[in-house]
Amino acid sequence: MPRRAATGGMPDFTGQTIDGERYYLDKLLGSGAYGKVYRAMDLKSPVECRAFYAIKCMPIYVPGTTKAHFQTRELFNHPKVRDHPNIVRYERHFQEEDWVYVVMELVRGGDLFAAITERHVFRNNDSLVKNVYLQIIDAVQYCHKKGIYHRDIKPENILYSEDTRRIKLADFGLSTTHAASAEYGCGSCYYMSPECIAEQKPRLKYSSKQTDVWSMGVILVNMISGRNPWRYATTDDQCFQAYLNDNDFLGNVLPISAEANAIIKRIFTIDPLRRITLEQLEEEIIQVHTFFRSQQQLKPLSKPLQAQRPAESSDSGWQTESEPVPTKPTRVVIETDGVALSSPILRPPATPEKQNNRSTKLEPSVPGPEDKPSTGGTSSAADSSKSSLAVKTPSVHAVIPVAIVRPSGAPDDDVEEALALPGSLLDKVLRSPAGKPKSITIKNGRNILRAAVQRIKDFSAPTSTSTGSGAT
């Protein structure tokens, strides 16, 4: 039996038998902050039809510590919701020496993260998006009715059957029975609600139910677009700040239909008391005709901050091509090494071997606080490798109208071009021949969506302003 590592790390249980030689752990499925999940063969089941389970292996934490507190909650809360068809079934748990083992249903299809980033099963598939998302709502509603609030709803914790038609909510390591919580920063950064992050002081208790609803909104964006809307729901995050400035921001930059965007805005309501409820969300989702923009709507658009929908790429996962640049009005093609407007994107998970060899996470394209590790448990009990969401930044061209400001008497081939973006403006002032587009490269997208704007420099001579017909 493996002993606790001297460094505090988790040993490898692969090839071990536990529970009096009953379960044989033959494959690592995933790992997290609190333990590892293995596929286990029940050696007491009939040889001709062996039973398999997912077994979560966790150290027995010192009583009174935070980890011991969350571990006790998981063992107490998960059994309460075990009987719902859209929740991973809890079977039993037992202890041996320094370890506690949780025996659960084995879900063989994988997790929602892989379905989105690797299999792309939801792309332009309205019926599947609706089917799966309504199942997630059913699972979370059932938990809430039982007085259990998950607080770590994310694609890695949503498993699916081999045909992708049945989903299962997993990992209750951060769950709580407190409807009003004072545990801040609980969950995974991309999916935390603003009130859970609690940027403002003094901190007040937040609704555990409504923070689950917020996480559901991020998952809906994931399923439709394959992207995260932001990294942190704080004013330090440029994408979130852009949403605060204009709540149509996501609908403008992602391939989301108008009716889906209307729902997303109701989910991402800053005031939790005004945020849509799960019951209302279920009704709204049922009424949706399409979650995706039509091909006609995906054609080049004249609105600022709007780019084409990314196309699949074998190496990076996403790639976009710029809209053809017309001669009039003058436009500027901005090339960044981030996805459209620095909006984070889901990254395919790494294998367990790569995870073990990786010392640092990829830096995001949007500057912000360092990525905080989830205080939750393992990623999932699925028969697949796991990874936390990280930012991947393939190349993209966003075509943005600009205003032309020409000093009085200046020659036509010497004009000042200022990038005019409503809500959040670029602080770049370019020079280029009149009527011709100027191409610049902005590393890491760090100058995109800046809250402040550097106004056009004062000219010694009187100036007159003329704006192209496409500028706003």
Residue-wise pLDDT for 394-415, tens only, equals: 333 333 333 333 333 433 333 2
- pLDDT score for 1: 55
Residue 307 has pLDDT above 70, yes or no: no
Q: Which residues line the annotated binding site for ATP?
A: 56
- pLDDT score for 388: 36
Distance between CA atoms of residues 59 and 69, nearest Å: 13
More confident residue, 24 or 161: 24
More confident residue, 113 or 200: 113
**How confident is residue 438, by pLDDT bands cut at 50, 70 and 90?**
very low
Percentage, residues of the chain above pLDDT 90: 52
Residue 299 has pLDDT above 90, yes or no: no
**How confident is residue 298, by pLDDT bands cut at 50, 70 and 90?**
low
Helices (H), 203-304: 208-225, 238-245, 249-253, 258-267, 278-287
Burial of 48 per CB tally in 10 Å (0-12, 13-18, 19+):
exposed
Q: Extract the tokens encoding 450.
A: 């800046």
383 is catalytic: no
Residue of 138, 152, 171, 212 with catalytic role: 152
More confident residue, 9 or 436: 9
More confident residue, 277 or 372: 277
The 10s digit of each residue's pLDDT in 89-125 is: 999 999 998 999 999 999 999 999 999 999 999 999 9
More confident residue, 229 or 183: 229
Q: What are phi and psi of 397, to 5 degrees?
A: -115, 125
- pLDDT score for 192: 94
Q: What are phi and psi of 363, to 5 degrees?
A: -70, 140
Helix axes 208-225, 258-267, angle to 10 degrees: 150
Q: Extract the tokens encoding 246.
A: 């204009």
CB 186 within 8 A of CB 151: yes
Q: Which residues line the annotated binding site?
A: 56
CB 287 within 8 A of CB 260: no
- pLDDT score for 8: 53
The long-range contacts involving 292-298, CB below 8 angstroms and separated by at least 24 positions, are: 292/124, 292/126, 292/224, 292/255, 292/256, 292/257, 292/260, 293/255, 293/256, 293/257, 298/255
- pLDDT score for 346: 53
More confident residue, 315 or 175: 175
CB 325 within 8 A of CB 333: yes
Summary mean pLDDT of the chain: 71
Q: Which of 170, 125, 171, 152 is nearest to 216 (CA)?
A: 152
Distance between CA atoms of residues 249 and 261, nearest Å: 10
The 10s digit of each residue's pLDDT in 228-281 is: 999 999 999 999 999 999 999 999 999 999 999 999 999 999 999 999 999 999
- pLDDT score for 295: 72
Percentage, residues of the chain above pLDDT 70: 61
Q: What are phi and psi of 224, to 5 degrees?
A: -80, -45
Least confident of 137-151, 183-197, 321-335: 321-335
The DSSP result for 137-182, as a single string, is HHHHHHHHHTT-B-S---GGGEEE-TTS--EEE---TT-BS-SEE-
The 10s digit of each residue's pLDDT in 331-344 is: 222 222 223 333 45
Residue 387 has pLDDT above 50, yes or no: no
* 354-382 average pLDDT score: 38
CA 188 to chain centre: 9
Q: Tell whether the torsion through CA atoms of 114, 448, 400 and 333 is positive or negative.
A: negative
Residue 33 has pLDDT above 70, yes or no: yes
- pLDDT score for 66: 87
Least confident of 186-190, 309-313, 340-344, 430-434: 309-313
Q: Extract the tokens encoding 113.
A: 């993260």
Q: Extract the tokens encoding 32.
A: 């997290």
